[in-house]
Chains A and B, each alone.
Chain A
Amino acid sequence: MTAADFKNAVLANNPAWAQLLGLCPLLAVSNSVVNALGLAAASTLVVIGSNTVISALRGFIPDQARLPSFVLVIATFTTVTTLLLEAFAFDLYLKIALYVQIIVTNCMILGRAEAFASRQPVSRAILDAAGTAVGFAIALIGLGAVREVLGQGTLFENAHLLFGESAASWTIDIGDAGTLPLALYPPGAFLTTGVIMALMTSLKRSTHDRQKMNTRR
């Protein structure tokens, strides 16, 4: 059951693609892989921390004060994450500060707290949180990679902002022939996401049709 919780949260109910939750940070910081990684790590910390606490306190929180309590717990973890990032990765923090701080209003996290963590034991709540975080991270980093390659023909640029000086040479240069700088600008975020989403829909549909054909035979 526990493994199924995880898989379900990552794939079938992927917060970003399937449910369109957390779209603001997804579009805003996916202009490079490193920015995406930074926000994914921050979101992971917040969702796992808040899910754990909310699940542990589920017997003590009165039903009427449920949502305000959840929001306060999430706001606390967001503050902690903001301070951590400010302390250990300041240059990266400067780039994504606003979007780290608004993790608190990410409906994905409140949604998991309300729908899952507040009714399940801690162990399952942690797994569900991990699944949600991984699902979100996959969407975020995937989109970041696509946009960085399309926009400037590199991968992992500025990795030293997150992983220290030794990572400065991690940048993979694919060459800037035929790049599409638009992908790095706001319109590019909307367009790339829309096209990727349409591709995934048609892919899902074609595999679905094929399965149907096979069962018919």
Chain B
Amino acid sequence: MSELALVLLGALLVNNFVLAQFLGLCPFMGITRSYDAALATGLATTFVLTLSAVTSYLFHHAVLVPLGVEYLRIILFIVVIAGIVQLVQYYLRAASPILHQLLGIYLPLITSNCAVLGVALLALDNTFSLAETFVFSLGAAAGFTLVMVLFGAIRETIDHEHVPDAFRGAPLALVTAGLMSLAFMGFGGLA
């Protein structure tokens, strides 16, 4: 049990996917102009990421390994992710139109979020079991959401400040992310 907790904590804080491993930077820089959009993206990503990491794990062990074609993992995983995004979209449209309206435009973008593929590949590299893969992807997704929300809130404030013209926009966002990353390095002693 404590091993699972360690995996969770590691993915969530110590090796935060955005700030320490540079995965999922596109949504991190692109969709954090407002707090609400950041939160919506984070939640949608959490759901898809966990589901696709577990599904990828199952497909890898049920199809690729018996056939001896592990090298096709990138193609398989990207198809799994795109398929799950599509299914989630259909399901939401039918089951909860309000949620669909809220998350609708952020869902297709998840396919090209490298954190989703990255988690599936990293879980494989670490030879995690199914339970560990689940916990690892949950931690990674929660870490992604946490950082998205924090960054969204910071950026809403920064936009109203006087900053040097040259730093306006992306450069200041990067410097801010750098300081956050520095703060997250403090979690290094945890695991």
Contacts and interface: CB of A to CB of B under 8 A. Distances in A.
Interface of A: 20-21, 23-25, 27-28, 68, 71-72, 75-76, 78-79, 82-83, 97-98, 101-102, 104-107, 110, 185-191, 193-195, 197-199, 201-202, 205
A205 B167 CA distance: 12
A200 to B, nearest CB: 9
Contact of B166 (A68, A82, A98, A202): A202
Main secondary structure of the interface of B (DSSP, over half): helix
A22 to B, nearest CB: 9
Contacts of A68: 82
Given A83-B71, A98-B121, A191-B178, A186 B78 contact: no
B166 A20 contact: no
Interface of B: 19-26, 29-30, 71-72, 74-75, 78-79, 82, 111-114, 116-118, 121-122, 125, 164-167, 170-175, 177-179, 181-182, 185
Contact of A195 (B21, B72, B74, B171): B171
B74 A187 contact: no
Contact of A199 (B20, B23, B166, B185): B166
B74 A189 contact: no
Given A72-B78, A107-B112, 10 more contacts: A20-B29, A24-B26, A79-B75, A82-B71, A101-B117, A105-B117, A186-B20, A186-B22, A195-B171, A201-B166
Contact of A194 (B24, B78, B171, B182): B171
Contact of A197 (B20, B21, B122, B170): B170
Contact of A110 (B24, B112, B167): B112
Contact of B121 (A27, A101, A189): A101
A104 B116 CA distance: 12
Contact of A191 (B21, B114, B174): B174
A197 B168 CA distance: 10
Contacts of A23: 22, 25-26, 29
A75 B75 contact: yes
Given A20-B170, A186-B20, A187-B182, A107 B26 contact: yes
Contact of A190 (B113, B114, B181): B181
A194 to B, nearest CB: 3
10 contacts: A98-B125, A102-B114, A186-B21, A190-B175, A194-B174, A194-B175, A197-B170, A197-B171, A197-B174, A198-B164
B78 A75 contact: yes
Contacts of B23: 24, 28, 102
A193 B22 CA distance: 13
B19 A24 contact: no
A24 B25 contact: yes
Nearest to B19: A186
Contacts of B185: 185-187
The 7 closest A-B pairs by CB, nearest first: A194-B174, A190-B178, A191-B178, A202-B166, A28-B22, A198-B171, A194-B175
Contacts of B167: 194, 198, 201
Of listed B23, B24, B122, B165, residue having the most chain A CB within 10 A: B23
Contacts of B20: 186
A189 B180 CA distance: 12
A202 to B, nearest CB: 4
B74 A104 contact: yes
Nearest to B81: A105
